[in-house]
Structure formats: structure tokens, C-alpha cells
Amino acid sequence: MSHSHDRYAKPQGPPDGTPVVIVRGLTVTAQDGRLLLRDAALTLRPGRLTALTGPSGAGKTTLLRAVTGLLPPGTHRTAGQIDVLGQDVLALPERDLRTMRGRHLAYVGQDPGSGLNPRMRVRSLVRELAVDKSSDIVGALLAEVRLPDDGRLAARRPGALSGGQQRRVALARALARRPKILLLDEPTAGLHPGLRDEVAELLGHLAREHRLAVAFSCHDPEVVERFADDVVVLDAPVPRPRTRVTGGVPAPCGEADGPPVLEVRDLHVEFGDAPVLTGVGLRVAPGSVEGIVGVSGSGKTTLARAVVGLQRAASGAVHLSGTQVRTGPRGRTREQRRQVQLVTQNPLGALNPSRTIGAAVGRPLRLHRRCAARHVSERVADLLEQVGLPPAFADRYPHELSGGQRQRAAVARALAADPEVLICDEITSALDPDTGAAIMDLLAGLRERRGMTVVLISHDLRLVADRTDTVTVLDAGRVVESGPTAEVFAAPEHAATRALLGMPTAVRRS
């Protein structure tokens, strides 16, 4: 037997063209009778990459989970069939289902980082599930997901990886079992274009080379169009909420001359001994939109956390409206905390599972006395409507919302505090383009009316180009370039910026 370079012996599956997953007329209902999925159909064939698209709340995640035989708690199938490798997974006994999930099915969720045991090193996380126990399997799998091991990466724990790296480790874990069917929930959300294309290409490669049936949910029409072999479009089972769409991009306020509303000077942040931010500076004029871009792991999120006072800095200063504020979790006044609000990258953990959406959004209104107590529920309904959620959602719990809907609720909560500066960490990455655009329009409107300043952290360079006045490029914890967005994007000077924009890097070698 030869030592094949190919780590995934081709699964002895059904012959090509035979569907491995057939879903017909699937309807899933929650306990209170809400429809999560209506009459959905899906067919997966080995060697083909199938994309599930549709607006947020359309049931993309529910459909993927149904194929794994695990519907969200409190929901059940009311009609339809799910046939996976010839068996109805929802009728299968627990034991057989486990065997099937262990051998043939792999699922990578929307927030893969939370599925990684924080106490285990990358090496053990990948090896744990590997069918092939040979010594170089970890390196091979990591290389397969384009996460080359530089000798240190395999020894890290998930906490020391960026969001994009965690996602690829989760994918490597899924591949280690050599499944026949690979299901991924939003695998490209929140990745910068280069990485996004790389992951999408990788999925296509896995499908074709290893005869995997791959299904992924995605709200990015470009990825779907370029990479998917088959497309399944889901419609929202309930009529879409009204989203306010204003025409065009408001004119930027230009270079404001006043003092910056947010200024970061020479910020150094270290995790243990490893420097994460080195001498970062940032000046954001009032009423402007600042973009922060950089590859995953470049320190964008750490910068945002230091600004909102969640990450203690080793040295350096953060000034809000001219006043120096602390970077650590203690020592800011409530008013200083109100002035800057953060909407985080991961919508799944952003809302307290024990509290209703209405309670979560209403809390900043009460805390910062933004309106009279008797008007709170009206204001909450108003805020929810602004972010495109029906006001009735105020009585729901976070687990009853989809990822995109939770992201919008998190935006509503941040807006409730009426902040001077709103920091958005990849907020559109979990949203379909229409909702994403509606949210950006909402922020633009607030900026115009209230002079709110927005800091937009994003991998979506088109979004940054369209929506920001100035941009700062981070690379390995340093600011490598900053200035008006149009100028930086038209004539990037630094190699990192050129790489982000997908331009050929100027080769300068001596």
C-alpha cells in the first residue's frame, strides 16, 4: 500500500450523481406555531458545492441543522422528509444518528470558535477526531485548510487565534473525520475578500477532489455566484420586516477641523508576552466614518476592545471628546461608557440568553436615562423597527432569533445608549446584502441627524470604500497606512494594503 499524498482516501460512497441528501417539502415549526422553515427542498450530490442563500431569518441554519438530525430545541418537523444516505435522520435512533454524525456528516457552525475547547491546543483539537493517526496528519490537515503550521500555531489554544484562524481550525477538525457530507453555516462571513475566496475555493476543491457533498449557507451573492455549483434560495417564511432604504450614500462631512471625538495615541497591548498592538494611533473626527481594515489577526478587534474599555493597554492613551479615559475594565464613569458603544463580531453570544430582546434593548435606555420610564417600550419598538426587526420581537428570547436578527438586535441595543461613537466590528458579515445596506443607511442617517461618529471594522472592502471617509490599515498590530479612504484605496502605498486590495505586491528585493 502506497503512502498516498492524499490524506482523504476517497470515501466508498454511492456512485457519482446519486444524491446523498434529499430534503423534500420540509416544514419546521417552533412550539408557539411560528414557522422557521416552509416547504424547503435540498439535494446534495458528491463532488458538488451547494450554496443556501436567502435573507436572514429565512431558515438557512435550521435547514442545515435538520440535515444533521438535530433541530434547534423546542422546534419540530411538521411536514416533509429528510433522507441522508438513505436514512431519515429525524426518525433515526440516537445511537445510529451519532454513528452517522461521527462517520459521514460534518457540521461547522456559524460561530466555530465556540465549538473549540478553549483548554486544548490546536494540535490536539485536530488530532482528536482524525481517522488517520499518523504523526504528520495535523500538519497535513492544517495545510489543507490553508493554515500552514509555522511551528507555533499548532501549540496555541483557541483563545490565541483570530476569528478567521479559529474558523479554519474548525474546518480542519471537520475534515479530520473524512466525512461524506460537509455542512457549513456561513463559512465566509467576516473574512476579508482574499481569505473569503480562498475558503470558497477550498470548499470547491474539497468537493471535487474528495467527492464530498458540500453545502454551505451564505448571504454573499458574489461568493454564491462565483463558486457554487448549485444554489438553493430560501424565502423568509414570514413576510420580511419593513426595512428603511434611503437613497444613495450621504455626502461625507469632509475633514472636520474640530478636535477629534476619538483619539488613540501610541497604544501598546500585549497578551502575556506577545505584542498584539504596537504603537497604534487613531484620530476620528466628529461625525465622520472611519474604517479599520486588515487581515484577520492584525489586531482590529483588540483595538476596538481597548477603545470601549474592555482590554487593558500596556501603555498609550485613549481620549474621548478630549478627555483621557482608561482602557481597562475599571475606572470609567458611566457617562464615558455611554459615549462609545461596541457592536461585536459574534452575534450569537452578544445577547443574554435569559432575557428578552425588549429587556436587552430597553436596558441602556433606563441605565443612561435616555427616555422616561413609561416611554421605554415605545422607544424599544421604535429602535427594533429602525434596525428592521418587527416590534413583536421584543418579547422573544435570543435563541428564537437567527444570527442576522440577533446582530440587528445588538445594533439596536448599542443605539439605545445614544452614543457619540459607535464601533461596529464586522456587523454586516452576518447579514444578507439588503439588510446590511439598510443598517448602514440607518447609521448614515443617525450620523447626519445626530452627528454620531462611526468606526467600521470590516473585511468587506467594498463596504469600507463606499461607506467611510477615512481608513486605517492595520498589519500585525501596527498602523501601516491611514488617510482618506478614496486616496488610500486608489494609491495604496504599503504592501499589506495592496495585498488586502488584491493588487500585485510591489516586489522590492535587494
Partner 1 sequence: MRPARGEGPERAVSAALRAPLGTLVKVLPALLLVTLALVGPWIAPHAIDTPVTAPYAAPVGDAPLGGDQLGRDVLSRLLAGGRELVLSSLLVAVLVTGTAAVLGAVGAVRPWVGRLVERTADVLMLLPAVLGILLVTLSWPGGGRLAVVAAAVVLGVPYAVRLAGGAAAPIAATGYVEAAAAGGERLRYLVVREILPNLRSTLLALFGLRFVAAVYLVATAGFLQVGPQPPAADWALMIRENSAGILLNPWAVVAPSAAVGLLALSVNLAASALAPQTGRKAVTVL
Binding test (CB under 8 A) with partner 1, winner from 399, 450, 502, 503: 399
Binding test (CB under 8 A) with partner 1, winner from 208, 370, 397, 495: 397
Binding test (CB under 8 A) with partner 1, winner from 205, 355, 370, 494: 355
Binding test (CB under 8 A) with partner 1, winner from 101, 104, 167, 459: 101
Contact status: 349 vs partner 1 (CB under 8 A): yes
Number of residues written out for the chain: 510
Beta-ladder partners of 475: 478
Stretch of 287-295, 367-375, 427-435, 441-449 contacting partner 1, by CB under 8 A: 367-375
d(CA 416, CA 369): 10
- Contact 405/56 with Cβ under 8 angstroms? yes
**3-state DSSP call for residue 453?**
strand
Binding test (CB under 8 A) with partner 1, winner from 42, 52, 284, 351: 351
CB of 105 to partner 1, least distance (A): 9
Q: What x-and-dash track marks residues 53-82 binding partner 1 by CB under 8 A? A: ------------x--x-x-xxx--------
**3-state DSSP call for residue 199?**
helix
Contact status: 309 vs partner 1 (CB under 8 A): yes
Contact status: 177 vs partner 1 (CB under 8 A): no
The nearer residue to partner 1, 147 or 325, going by C-beta atoms, is 325
Give me 120's grid cell.
486544548
Q: Which residues have a Cβ under 8 Å from the Cβ of 192 and sit 6 or more positions away?
A: 164, 293, 295, 296, 459, 460, 461, 500
- Contact 453/447 with Cβ under 8 angstroms? yes
The nearer residue to partner 1, 234 or 365, going by C-beta atoms, is 365
Contact status: 404 vs partner 1 (CB under 8 A): no
Binding test (CB under 8 A) with partner 1, winner from 308, 422, 444, 456: 308
Contact status: 356 vs partner 1 (CB under 8 A): yes
- Give the number of residues in contact with partner 1, rule: CB under 8 A: 54
Nearest by Cα to 167 from 131, 119, 200, 134: 200
The nearer residue to partner 1, 224 or 387, going by C-beta atoms, is 387
Q: Strands across the sheet with 315-320, in order?
A: 274-284, 262-271, 315-320, 323-325
Contact status: 377 vs partner 1 (CB under 8 A): yes
Is residue 323 classed exposed, middle or buried when 0-12, 13-18 and 19+ CB atoms within 10 A define those classes? Answer: exposed
d(CA 497, CA 348): 31
Binding test (CB under 8 A) with partner 1, winner from 22, 359, 371, 446: 359
- Contact 344/350 with Cβ under 8 angstroms? yes
Nearest by Cα to 368 from 411, 394, 341, 334: 334
- Contact 185/109 with Cβ under 8 angstroms? yes
Contact status: 493 vs partner 1 (CB under 8 A): no
> Half-sphere exposure of residue 183, counting CA atoms within 13 Å on the CB side?
25
Contact positions vs partner 1 (CB under 8 A): 65, 68, 70, 72-74, 101, 107, 109, 111, 114-115, 308-310, 329, 332-338, 341-342, 344, 346, 348-356, 358-360, 362-364, 366-368, 373, 377, 395, 397-399, 410, 413, 417
